[in-house]
Structure 1
Amino acid sequence: MLWPAAYRSAFAAAPLAMAVVDGEGRIVDANDALGVLLGVADAGPAGRVAAELLDLASDPRTWHAYREVLRGRQAKLRCTRRLKLPDGRSLWAQVTVSPLDGGTPGAVLLSVADVSAHRDLQARLRHLQMHDPVTRLPNRTLFFERVSAALETEVYEQSGTGRIGLCYLDLDGFKAVNDTLGHRVGDLLLAAVADRLTECAEEAGRTRPSVPLVARLGGDEFALLVEDSTGTEQLADLAESVLKALQAPIDLAGHRLNVSASIGVVERHAAGTTATGLMQAADTTLYWAKVDGKDRWTLFDPERNAHLMTRQALASTLRPAIERGEFRLDYQPLVGMSDGRLRGVEALVRWDHPRFGLLSPNRFVALAEEDGSIVPLGRWVLATACRQARQWQTDNPDYPPLFVSVNVAVRQVWDSDLVADVAEILAETGLAPHLLQLELTESAVMGSAGRPLQALQALSDMGVGIAIDDFGTGYSNLAYLSRLPVSVLKLDGSFVRGFQYEGAGAPPNPADQVVVEAMIALAHRLGLTVTAECVETSAQATRLRSIGCDTGQGWLYSRPVPPDRISELLGTESGTESGTESGSETYAVGNP
């Protein structure tokens, strides 16, 4: 190559490794620095193919760009390659290729810089960035990178089983260690747990193609990622080994600590799964393990999760649904056992949900109690039921007025002025206080003290009836009833169902009748009336009547029905002289 002597001297003496490459890709000239850097000083790089010497052809994109520069179609190429040297060492080299302005037509200048130290520093910094300093495990950032990469590999390369598994665990009671022994001991405990988890992963990896990734996600939360999993059995075995490994006491800083964990296990096809979806499922399942008693693993259950999602959807729309008027009341008759006449009704709320259809109270009342929306909902139920009872009374002046029974949650007493609400609603609707009965569960009433008891007493003094619902399932302390303003016991349906005949002509268990008869007798001695729930057969009604039960409620008489069906029955009964014959259970308002 014909260069001025000054340029030639500078080229030869430059510390930067350089070479001139012709249009065919061969090195026509190189300085000594290039031969020294690449370990070919003795043989000399001149005449060799540059792409082979610098591994430019192994990467299709780099190889294409390099050829474009040689052909004059691209101005410049800069890339980083890891080179294997003849003596076995390796280095990271930054390769720059650009056309020469003068000299041999079509030639390019190639320069090579050793960036190994820079790459090593980057790697160390990335390791610090991607690993937890306490446990030295991969942290949340690296964990999610690995999850995303694993899902992409399984979906697009379709290698292995195409499945992925995750054990997501949380230490039980770790906060107590931090609070009592300090964060230093807490950190030592986390490190010891990390070691045991790593041992479990390595043991599991001995019989599998890969070792599960162990990561600390933050706090006392850890994860074990199983790529290319073989099914739920593999994940269950891993979770069991973790629980067993954590059972042995851990000696730290003069303290012997016992630790356990709750583990959420998820195993599924990678196709259609995202990192976020996988973690949401794992987090939900971990919560189930905690709720189910801790120190256990729980497998993700799609049906249970669907129920939970539905529950959350209902909870989030409860209050707006009240404002939109999506609730309605059905009424179930309460019938006198002595004469079969309709005495009152129980108001039962339903939610006419635009997505899930008609929902019974057991689907949403507990949610309403949790978030406090039971207060506005309960107020609406109370007002609607009282208004309807007054309407029946106005429309059927010849029939004895029906009382209406409304369920009340204890939270309504604590979070609102129930006494004031009842007084206001009775005044607005014109319903007499004795025609309103409020039902509370046995556990709520029996444990009443302070404000709830004062409210119940004030309502009773007002003339409102107080009933204990599902009596017999809780405290069953009849002596305590004498100190409560209660007027009615609603006998739980489990007692009535015990009256069923076991076979044709075979008598029922006499113990059931003895218990019920004793409760009714004691209730009457205390001045209380008794209503039997879940009356389904004439035989049950006959036996309840024979032992003195006052009122019956159940499918023998009617299922809960809309208010117009109650109006029809009142019109029918008020048109007869004596109503249904004594002891007869032949009519039904709704199909049983």
Structure 2
Amino acid sequence: MGSAVPVPGSRGFSVVPGTVVPGAVPGPAARHRAGALAVLPVADGGPEGGPDGRPVLPPGPALRHDAYGRIVAVREAVAELVDPTGALEPCRMLGRPLGELLADIAPVDPAAGPEGLLVARLRRVTGAPLPVQIVAWPEAAGGAVLVLVPQAPAPEPAPVYGPTAADVERIAGLGHWEVDLATGSAWLSPVLAELLGLDHRPQRRAEGLLAALHPADRRGFARRWSALVADGTPLEADARLGDGTGRILQLHAALRPDGTVLGTASDVTARRQAEERLRALTQRFTDLLAVAPVGIALFDDDERLVKANQALCRLLGQGPEALRGRRADELLDLGAEAAAGAGPATPLLARPAGSAGSVSWSCTPRALRTRERGADGADAGAVWCELHVSVSVHDDGGVTHLVVFTDVTDARRVEASLRHQAMHDELTGLPNRRALSTTVSRLLAGPTARRTGVLFCDLDNFKRVNDSLGHDAGDELLVELAARLRERLPAGCAASRSAGDEFVVVCADVDLHGGLDALSATVAGILRTAIPVHGQLVRISATVGAAVGATIGADALPDPSRPDIDPTADPVEQVLRQERATELAGLEPAPGHPGTGDLMRFADAALFEAKSGGTGRFALADEAIMKGADEALRMETQLREAMVNDELVLHFQPVVGPDGRVQTAEALVRWQHPEQGLLFPDKFLPVAEAADLMGDLDRWVLRTAVREAAVWPPSGPDGVAPSVAVNLAGLLPGDPDFLDTVHDAVSRAGLPYDRLVLELVETCLADLPSTTLREMNELIAAGVRFAVDDFGTGYSSLSRLTGLPAQIVKLDRGFVRGVATGESDRAVARAVVDLTAAIGQICVAEGVEDTDQFAVLRDLGVHAYQGWLFARAMPVEAFTQLLRRGPLSPEDRAAG
């Protein structure tokens, strides 16, 4: 194999062609030049051990040979030096003896260069051998890693340069240094000298290295240096440079057996700045968690809680330690969700369907279980939170769930209150007409459709309670009756308040209660009672009209997607709960059943039939009633068309003064029906009232009456035409469009305001709010007069007259009828006349039919008279001719 070539100062390291002596280590001077190579692979796998425990070749022209001198690894740069044409593949060099590649290996002359380097000649495919210097690292197994440094340019065509040791240090961003503890001298690599901002010279004092550091960091470095020298503790430290640039060096040093210290230094300024920015971001994130007003939690791969901020701890009433490790689903209050009709329970962190990897989503509010602090861990009400979930998948496949909990408990409470208000009556708390309609529709779509019953209950004489005791008393009575219904209705039935004094009972299956007849009697019995109100015992009863699904031919059309209604439980509660669950699930609500309106209409028609026979009765919808209801519906449609097509007409009945002059004419509506001829109000006003058309009818009468009155001739020598009086029952003071409607009608007709009288029953004029009074006073100031119609049928106290905002009082015909023969009627008439005169009102007697009545009323001081004694109501043409004839007298008795 050849004789060994000793290397001076190499401490036993000798290289012969094809041979490396095991156990040899490079000397200090050799490591001066090779130091960068020695530390470079620390970042790159390194000669000190790659992933397989073997040294990794440095970049550039480097190779490895084994204990037998065979090449076992080679960089492409070596092949390029051997064959500049690039034809030589590195793999062809593997297994070849090192002597075939390198010739004349010898130590460098210490006078000519640094101690410890080798020189040799690199054999090439063409041309003369290339002089190279060699830096070698022995391996424990007996081989070595060699780096070849060409000493002359490679010949054409493609010169190849290998890196110098300084180049490798610069590439690695590392410098190295060595201190001889015996002499205190230090040696710095060129790269380290540049990092420290020092001039490069081979030797300097160790103290100079310490002086290059920032004064604030010198003491800490000195303490670690002392530990290194004293007991060999490896030195690891960061230190700032003292040049004011703020650069940071990472220093590593180790004590060698020969009493020297070998160290490395790298500029980690950028890395430390990045780490500081990361720490700042992390701290900001931690601070954000602490001060965030919403709950925030981190869950691990197993969906166990890792971290919870204070807001979430407050929501749940538990500390972070108590929450840590809890599974996500353990935070849910499934009982509260079920009670709220939230539908089937789903896992708290359930991914959206079809999602994978890192993903974010939001989900509907969930109920969280909470505990009251300071209450011995007692359970408290659920906290409802909207969830916003973000799932992050790490490089190692791990998963982190970031969950934001937004407390919506109060918002849900408000929402539930609004939803309750939308479906329940404000006064009694019973379900309202909307809830009733939804329930009936749902029942008609279920298996008990033909047995579904609806009972309309109208309180008898309830208006008298309001009129005599006041509206507060009426409200109190309604509340008490609602409570009785809730408590005493049979199972499977529920009450609702439709409007005013009308209750409606719905039953899922009337057969469970003996049929519709028996159930109607039961409901009527519940509402037949005596209740103390405002210190008085008020006896009350109700008239009931009922209909059942079989009456309208309802057939069960079960919806398999909707659960059935339990016929023994509250049907309204069940339906509203199911509707809420449908809404939360994002499903479309079921369409209304087409028979809902018919069933309720027929029950209402049965109520109308029952009321026609007196109070306290009940009636069931049968064929005749259904036919009547259909006829009423047909008449309602025709009435609507009549108002549009001007099929309605007005007749006018004079109101005359003691001198016979016509002062006012009351407008009375008639319907010129295309099939039934002229119809009087008693035939169609109930239809208009049931269909809520009274307001539209009043508007038509008002517009038509003022338009016709505007062209009436004068009724006396003063040249003034009579006023026109219009009865209002659907358009009342306080309605949103009342004032505008009156102003618009009068201005369009051109009628003076002082020729318009608006008649209302006394209950419409009592206890008016201030806004309504302001509207009335505005019209009164313009000249309009208000009249109390049918006075005496409402409030019994004459003192009420002083509080009514009216200028005219019309004495009801019930008192006028007996005024000539009955002392009590005459006494009432006298009291009314005297009181109206005292407070400056005009008293008009209604229903004057004979001369005896007229004589008595005239003697009592009545201001004006209306009745058949003077004239019946007549068409406008006849009324105009009557005005032209002059004053009327009882003997004239015009026929309508």
Instruction: Name which of 608, 625, 645 aligns with 1:324.
Output: 645
Which residue of 821, 828, 834 corresponds with 1:521? 834
Answer yes or no: is 1:590 the counterpart of 2:895. Answer: yes
- Tell me the distance in 2 between the aligned counterparts of 1:300 and 1:368: 21
Separation in 2, partners of 1:408, 1:236: 39
Specify the code of the residue in structure 2 equivalent to 1:564.
Answer: E
Aligned in 2, Cα 1:458/1:348: closer, same or farther, shift over 3 Å?
A: same
**Which has more helix, going by share of residues?**
1
- SS of residue in 1 equivalent to 2:655: strand
Task: Give the corresponding residue for 1:60.
Answer: none
Partner of 1:421: 741
* Distance change >3 Å, CA 302–CA 397, structure 1 → 2: farther
Corresponding residue for residue 352 of structure 2: none
- The one-letter code sitting in structure 2 at the alignment partner of 1:511 is S
Contact 2:667-2:726 within 8 A present in 1 as well: yes
SS of the residue 2:724 aligns to: strand
User: Is the Cα–Cα contact under 8 Å of residues 670 and 680 in structure 2 kept in the other structure?
Assistant: yes
Unmatched segments (≥5 aa) in structure 2 = 1-442, 458-478, 494-504, 528-542, 556-594
TM-superposed deviation, 1:420: 3.0
| CA shift for structure 1 position 477 | 4.1
Q: Which amino acid aligns with 2:894?
A: V
Q: Distance in 1 between matches of 2:526 and 2:831?
A: 54
1:173-229: CA deviations, max 9, x gaps?
A: 9xx99x999xxxx9x9449xxxxxxxxxxxxxxxxxxxxxxxxxx97322449xxxx
Q: Given that residues 262 and 296 in structure 1 are in contact (C-alpha distance below 8 angstroms), is that contact kept between their aligned partners in structure 2?
A: yes
Could you say what secondary structure the match of 2:710 adopts? helix
- 1:562 deviates by 0.4
How far residue 589 of structure 1 moved from its aligned partner, in angstroms, is: 2.5
**One-letter amino acid matched to 2:867:** G
1:382 aligns with 2:687: no
Deviation sequence 1:283-313 (CA, Å, 0-9, x none) = 7675577786999863446655444333322
From the superposition, tell whether residues 426 and 284 of structure 1 become closer, same or farther in structure 2 (CA, over 3 Å). closer
Q: 1:243 to 1:341 in 2, by over 3 A?
A: closer
Partner SS state of residue 345, structure 1: strand
Q: Tell me the secondary structure at the aligned position of residue 781 of structure 2.
A: helix
Amino acid at match of 1:550: H
Secondary structure of the residue that 1:532 maps to in structure 2? strand
Counterpart for residue 485 of structure 1: 805
Q: Quote how far apart the aligned CAs of 1:539 are.
A: 1.1
Which residue of structure 2 aligns with residue 456 of structure 1? Answer: 776
User: Partners of 1:534 and 1:170 in 2: how far apart?
Assistant: 39
The equivalent residue for 2:102 is none
Could you tell me whether the CA contact under 8 Å between 2:809 and 2:843 is conserved in 1?
A: yes
Give the structure 2 partner of residue 544 of structure 1. 857
Separation of aligned partners in 2, 1:509 and 1:395? 35
Separation of aligned partners in 1, 2:524 and 2:738: 53
Superposition TM-score, scaled by structure 1 size: 0.50
- Helix, strand or coil for the counterpart of 1:555? coil
1:484 to partner: Cα distance? 3.6
**Corresponding residue for residue 19 of structure 1:** none
How far apart in 2 are the matches of 1:274 and 1:413?
44
Name the CA distance, whole Å, in 2 between partners of 1:246 and 1:488.
43
Q: Deviations over 1:387-426 (max 9, x none)?
A: 2222113799875321111112354434443333333333
Partner residue of 1:556? 869
Q: 2:508 is matched with which residue?
A: 221
* Corresponding residue number in structure 1 for 2:344: none
Residue 855 (structure 2) pairs with residue 568 (structure 1): no
Alignment-mate amino acid for residue 619 of structure 2: T
Report the Cα distance in structure 2 between the residues aligned to 1:461 and 1:564, rounded to whole angstroms.
32
CA distance in 1, matches of 2:521, 2:726: 53
2:654 maps to 333
- State the AA in 2 paired with 1:585: P
Within-5 A mapping of 1:223-372: 223-224=510-511, 264=546, 298-300=619-621, 304-336=625-657, 338-365=658-685, 367-368=687-688
Equivalent-residue separation in structure 2 for 1:243 and 1:437 (angstroms): 45
Alpha-carbon separation, structure 1, partners of 2:524 and 2:791? 45
Q: Structure 1 CA distance, aligned partners of 2:701 and 2:687?
A: 16
Q: Secondary structure at the match of 2:890?
A: coil
Q: Deviations over 1:9-64 (max 9, x none)?
A: xxxxxxxxxxxxxxxxxxxxxxxxxxxxxxxxxxxxxxxxxxxxxxxxxxxxxxxx
Kindly indicate whether residue 722 of structure 2 is the aligned counterpart of residue 402 of structure 1.
Answer: yes
Paired residues of 2:448 and 2:508 also in contact (CA < 8 A): no
Contact map agreement 2:715 2:722 (CA 8 A) in 1: no
1:330 shift after superposition: 0.5
Over residues 159-181 of structure 1, what are the superposed CA-to-partner deviations in whole Å (9 max), with x where a residue is unaligned? xxxxxxx99577999xx99x999
- CA gap of 1:143–1:441, structure 2 versus 1, over 3 A, is closer
CA distance in structure 2 between the partners assigned to 1:263 and 1:479 by the alignment: 39
Label 1:559 to 1:262 Cα distance change in 2 as closer, same or farther (>3 A): closer
Amino acid at match of 2:507: D
**Greater CA radius of gyration, 1 or 2?**
2
Render the CA deviation track for 1:343-392: whole Å, top value 9, x for unaligned.
22101112223244323234444554565544443233222222222211
| Alpha-carbon distance, 1:475 to partner | 1.2
CA–CA distance in structure 1, aligned partners of residues 808 and 647 of structure 2? 31
Letter matched to residue 517 of structure 1: R
Q: Aligned partners of 1:452 and 1:551: how far apart in 2? A: 28
Task: Find the aligned partners of 1:318 and 1:280 in 2 and give their Cα distance.
Answer: 20
1:326 Cα offset (Å): 1.5
Structure 1 pair 410–462 and aligned structure 2 pair: CA distance change class (3 A): farther
Give the whole-Å Cα distance in 1 for the aligned partners of 2:644 and 2:445: 43
Deviation at residue 487 of structure 1 after TM alignment? 0.7
Taking a change above 3 Å as real, the CA distance of residues 310 and 356 of structure 1, as seen in their structure-2 partners, is: farther
Q: Distance in 2 between matches of 1:398 and 1:241?
A: 65
Alpha carbons of 1:483 and 1:351: their partners in 2 closer, same or farther (altered >3 Å)? same
